[in-house]
A and B are shown apart, each in its own frame.
Chain A
Amino acid sequence: MDLFADLWMGFSVAVSPINIAYLLIGAMVGMIVGIIPGFGPSAGLAILLPITFGMDPIGAVMMLAAIYYGSMYGGTITSILLNTPGESATVASTFDGFPLAQQGRAGPALVMQAVASFVGGTIGVIMITLLAPAFSQVARNFGPPEYFLLAIMGLLTLVVMIGANWRYGLISVLIGFALGTVGVDLETGQGRFTFGSAELIGGIDFIPIAIGLFGLGELYYAFYQGLHASGSGSIVQYSKQSRFWPEARDWVETRVTMFRASLLGFVVGVIPGAGATIASLMAYSVERSVSKTPEKFGKGAMAGLVGPESANNAASSGAMIPLLTLGIPGSASTAVLLAAFLLWGLRPGPLLMEQNPEFAWGLIASMYLGNMALLAINIFAIPLFVWLVKIPYRVLAPAVVVVCTIGTFSVHGSITETWLMFVAGIVGFFMRLFGYSPAALVLALVLGPLAEEALRQTLTISRGSFWIFLERPGSLWIIAITIGILLLVPLMQRLGRPPKLDAASGEED
Chain B
Amino acid sequence: MRIGFLFALLLISAFYTYVAFVELSFLTVSGRLGPGFFPRLIGVGLILLCLVSLPQDLRRMRLDDVMTGYWSVIAMMALLSGGLVMLFSIVGGTLAMAIFLLVTLSILNRGHHLQNLAIAVLLPAAIYYLFDVWLNASMPEGMISLPI
Contacts and interface: CB of A to CB of B under 8 A. Distances in A.
Q: Chain A interface secondary structure, helix, strand, loop or mixed?
A: helix
A394 B33 contact: no
Contacts of A419: 85
B38 A181 contact: yes
A143 interface: no
A167 B130 contact: no
Nearest to B128: A406
A158 to B, nearest CB: 15
A425 B101 CA distance: 18
B105 A398 contact: yes
B88 A401 contact: no
Interface string A383-397: 000000000101101
A171 B139 CA distance: 36
A196 B29 CA distance: 23
Contact of A406 (B37, B77, B81, B127): B127
B125 to A, nearest CB: 12
A187 B115 CA distance: 56
Interface in A351-405: 392, 394-395, 397-399, 401-403, 405
Given A167-B52, A405-B81, A181 B39 contact: yes
Nearest to B53: A167
Interface in A415-430: 415, 418-419, 422, 425-426, 429-430
Interface string A207-248: 000000000100110011110110000000000000000000
Contacts of A175: 9, 46
B84 A409 contact: no
Contacts of A412: 138
Contact of B124 (A53, A190, A402): A402
A455 B5 contact: no
B25 to A, nearest CB: 8
Given A54-B135, A171-B50, A224-B70, A188 B93 contact: no
B33 to A, nearest CB: 5
Interface in A154-203: 167-168, 170-171, 174-175, 177-178, 181, 185, 187-188, 190, 192-193
Chain A interface size range: 35 or more
A220 B77 contact: yes
A347 interface: no
A433 interface: yes
Q: Which of A187, A394, A406, A452 has the most CB of B within 10 A?
A: A406
Report whether over half of chain B's contact residues are helix, strand or loop; otherwise say mixed: helix
Nearest to A220: B74
Nearest to A398: B104
B46 A178 contact: yes
A422 B105 CA distance: 20
B144 interface: no
A50 B136 CA distance: 10
Contact of A193 (B19, B88, B119, B138): B19
Contact of B88 (A53, A228, A418): A418
A178 B89 CA distance: 30
Nearest to A195: B19
A433 B69 CA distance: 10
A51 interface: yes
B82 interface: yes
A223 B73 contact: yes
A278 to B, nearest CB: 23
Contact of A228 (B53, B73, B123, B136): B73
B5 A401 contact: no
Interface in B65-100: 67, 69-71, 73-74, 77-78, 80-82, 84-85, 88-89, 93, 97, 100
B85 A192 contact: no
A452 B39 CA distance: 9
A410 B138 contact: yes
Contact of A190 (B35, B109, B131): B35
A228 B77 CA distance: 12
Interface in A47-82: 50-51, 53-54
Contacts of B9: 171, 175
Contacts of A192: 24, 35, 39
A486 interface: no
Nearest to B50: A171
Contacts of B93: 406, 409
Interface in A477-494: none
A459 interface: yes
Nearest to A224: B69
Given A171-B50, A406-B97, A460-B32, A398 B16 contact: no
B105 A433 contact: no
A294 interface: no
A456 interface: yes
B58 interface: no
Contact of A54 (B25, B34, B73, B136): B136
A178 B9 CA distance: 12
18 contacts: A54-B135, A54-B136, A171-B49, A174-B49, A177-B38, A187-B35, A188-B35, A192-B35, A223-B73, A224-B74, A225-B69, A225-B70, A226-B70, A394-B109, A401-B84, A409-B93, A418-B88, A460-B32
Given A174-B42, A192-B35, 20 more contacts: A50-B137, A51-B130, A51-B131, A175-B9, A187-B28, A188-B34, A190-B24, A190-B25, A228-B70, A395-B119, A397-B108, A398-B101, A398-B105, A402-B124, A406-B140, A410-B137, A410-B139, A419-B85, A426-B78, A434-B1
* Closest 3 A/B residue pairs (Cβ): A413-B138, A185-B35, A224-B69
